[in-house]
Amino acid sequence: MFEARLGSTTLLKKIVDALKEILSQSTLDCSASGIQLQAMDNSHVSLVAMSLSRECFERYRCDRNVSLGLDLKSLMKVLKCASGDDAVTISAADKADKLQLRFESAGNERTADYELRLLNLEQDHLAIPETDYACIVHMPSTEFARICRDLATFSESVVIACSKDGIKFSASGELGSANITLSETSKGDVSLQVEEPVTLCFAGRYLNSFTRATSLADKVKIGLAADVPLLVEYPIEDHGYIRYYLAPKVDDPD
Amino acid sequence: MFEARLGSTTLLKKIVDALKEILSQSTLDCSASGIQLQAMDNSHVSLVAMSLSRECFERYRCDRNVSLGLDLKSLMKVLKCASGDDAVTISAADKADKLQLRFESAGNERTADYELRLLNLEQDHLAIPETDYACIVHMPSTEFARICRDLATFSESVVIACSKDGIKFSASGELGSANITLSETSKGDVSLQVEEPVTLCFAGRYLNSFTRATSLADKVKIGLAADVPLLVEYPIEDHGYIRYYLAPKVDDPD
DNA sequence: TCAGCATCAG
DNA sequence: CTGATGCTGA
C-alpha cells in the first residue's frame, strides 16, 4: 500500500506542469523515504530528476517500494479536475494497475475520486554522479526564465560564461546579439560560488523547457563545470527538488 | 401588437446564450401569459423548453398570440450592441416580419433601435408529459457544470446514480475513471428527494451544452426516472425557467 | 470538427 | 492566479 496526501493540489500541478512537456511518460519510484523520478527527456538529450521526500507530505505511507508508470499529460488532465486548494491523496495498492486520486474540498463538502491507468514503462535508471561544480550560481528563477526566453530570439545556442565577476548569458545570430550579465548584488538575490571560471554553450530550447518549473521556487541554482552537464535546480518546499541536466554543446555556437 | 420590456439586457443575454448553441434557430411563442419556447436541439437529440411568464417583465403586452421565428445567433449579435444595464424593449406588430429591439441606457441619454428579421420556421410542437421523477436533486449550478466538464475528460458517457445516500456522477474510459459523489450537506446546498434509486447513462456532450445556462441560476434542479428523459432545470428569476431534457442512453457505457 | 494554445479579463 | 474566449493546427 502506498498513500501520500498533500494539503493543496497547486503544488502537485506545478510539479507535473514542470515535467509534462519534457517527459510525456515517466515512472515515479515510491519508497519509504519519498517519491523519486529520474528520466531522459523525450528527445533523450536532457535529464530530469525529481525528489519529494516524505516530509513534503501531510501524510505519507509506503509499505513497500512501488514504481508507478504514468502518462503525465493524463495525470495533468486529472489534476485539472481539482481546485487548487483541494487536498489531494494519491494511492496505489501493491501491484496495482491504477493510481487512485482523491480530491477533497477545503470544507470537505465535496469528494471526487479518480483512477488513472498505470503504464508499464521501461526503466532507464541512470546514475547521476555527484559533481563538484566549478561554478554554482543562485539567482531569481524568474530572472533565469526571462533571460532564456529573451536569448531564444537570437540564437538556438546560449553561451554561459561564469567567473568571479558574474555570470554572463550570450546569444548571437542573424538578428544581432544579446549579452546579459548578472553580478552579485548587494541585495543578495544573485550569488556566485566560483572555484574556477567556466564558459560553456547550451541548446537554448532545453534551457527554456527547464523554466517550466519557475513557479515552484523563487530561486534557481545553476551548476557549471567544464565538460559536464549543466545543472539547473529548483527546490520544492524545503524537502524536494527538480533538477534538470543538460550536456554542453561540443562546439558550434550556432 | 406585442411588446415586452426588461430592466436589464443582461438577463436576456444569458438566456439567449443558454439557447444559441443548442438551438440555432427557434420560435418564440408569445401570448398574454408570457413567452414560451420549445424545440429539439440542432441534432434532434435533446429538447429545450423555456418559459418567461409576463411577471418576468417590467412591462408586458400581447394583444394576440404571435410566433416569432428567430435566428438566435443573430439575436445575440444584436444584444451585444447593448450594455448590460440598458433596458431592452422587444416588440413586434401583428404579422410583422421584423422584431424591434430598443435599448435605453440607464440614465436615458441613449436610445438605440434595432430591427431583426424574423424567420418562418416549421413548428415542431412537442408535448412534454409531466413526469413524476423518482429522484429530484437540487444542487449548485456551478457544481453541476464543473462535474460535467470534468467527466468529459474521461468518457463520452456519464452515469448518474441517485439514491438516498447521494447522487454519484461517473465516467470511465481509456485514461481511467472518475466518480464524484454529492450527499446532502449540512449547508443545505445539495438536496435530494428520492422515491426510488435510479441509475442512468447519458451522453456527456449534451449535459455540457446544458450548462451554458449556469449563469442564470445558482441552483439547478435535476429530475431522474427510469426510461424517461433526464430533466435539467434552471429557474429564471422566480417566474421563468429553462428546462433541458435528454433521453438516457439505452446501453453502451462507452 | 475538435483539441490545444495563447491571449485576455476578472 | 483562475476562468473565458478566440484562433490555429491536426
pLDDT score of B59 more than 90: yes
Q: Is B191 on the interface with A (CB under 8 A)?
A: no
**Closest-CA distance of chain A to residue B176, Å:** 4
Q: Closest to B150 (Cβ–Cβ): which among A74, A81, A116? A: A81
Q: What is the spatial distance, in angstroms and rounded to an integer, between the CA atom of A132 and the C1' atom of D8?
A: 47
Say whether residue A109 is in contact with chain B using an 8 A CB cutoff.
Answer: yes
Looking at every residue in chain B, the average pLDDT score rounds to 91
Enumerate the nucleotides of strand D whose atoms come under 7 Å of any protein CB: 1-3
Side-by-side strand order, sheet with A25-31? A66-71, A25-31, A34-40, A46-53, A240-246, A230-236, A219-224, A135-140, A191-194
Res. B253 pLDDT band, cuts 50 70 90? very low
Q: Which of A109, A116, A118 best tests the B interface by mutation, with the highest count of B CBs <10 A? A: A109
Name every chain A residue with its beta carbon within 8 A of the beta carbon of B181: 111-113
Residues 6 or more apart in contact with residue A38 via CB below 8 angstroms: A29, A47, A48, A49, A50, A125, A126, A128
User: Do A152 and A204 form a contact (C-beta atoms < 8 A)?
Assistant: yes
Cell matching residue B225? 426516472
> Digits of tens for pLDDT over chain A (254 positions)?
999 999 989 999 999 999 988 888 899 999 999 999 999 888 888 999 999 999 999 999 999 999 999 999 899 999 999 988 899 999 999 989 999 999 998 877 788 999 999 998 887 777 888 899 999 999 999 999 999 988 988 888 999 999 999 999 999 998 899 999 999 987 779 999 999 999 999 999 899 999 999 999 999 999 999 999 999 999 999 999 999 999 998 865 44
For the entire predicted model, the pTM comes to 0.92
A84 touches strand D (CB under 7 A): yes
Question: Tens digit of pLDDT for each residue in A28-45?
Answer: 999 999 999 999 888 888
pLDDT for B90 beyond 90 = yes
Q: In terms of Cα–Cα distance, which of A56, A47, A50, A67 is closest to A7?
A: A56
Q: What are the structural domains, with CATH classification, of chain A? A: 2-117 (3.70.10.10), 135-246 (3.70.10.10)
The answer to whether the CB of A3 falls within 8 A of the CB of A59 is: yes
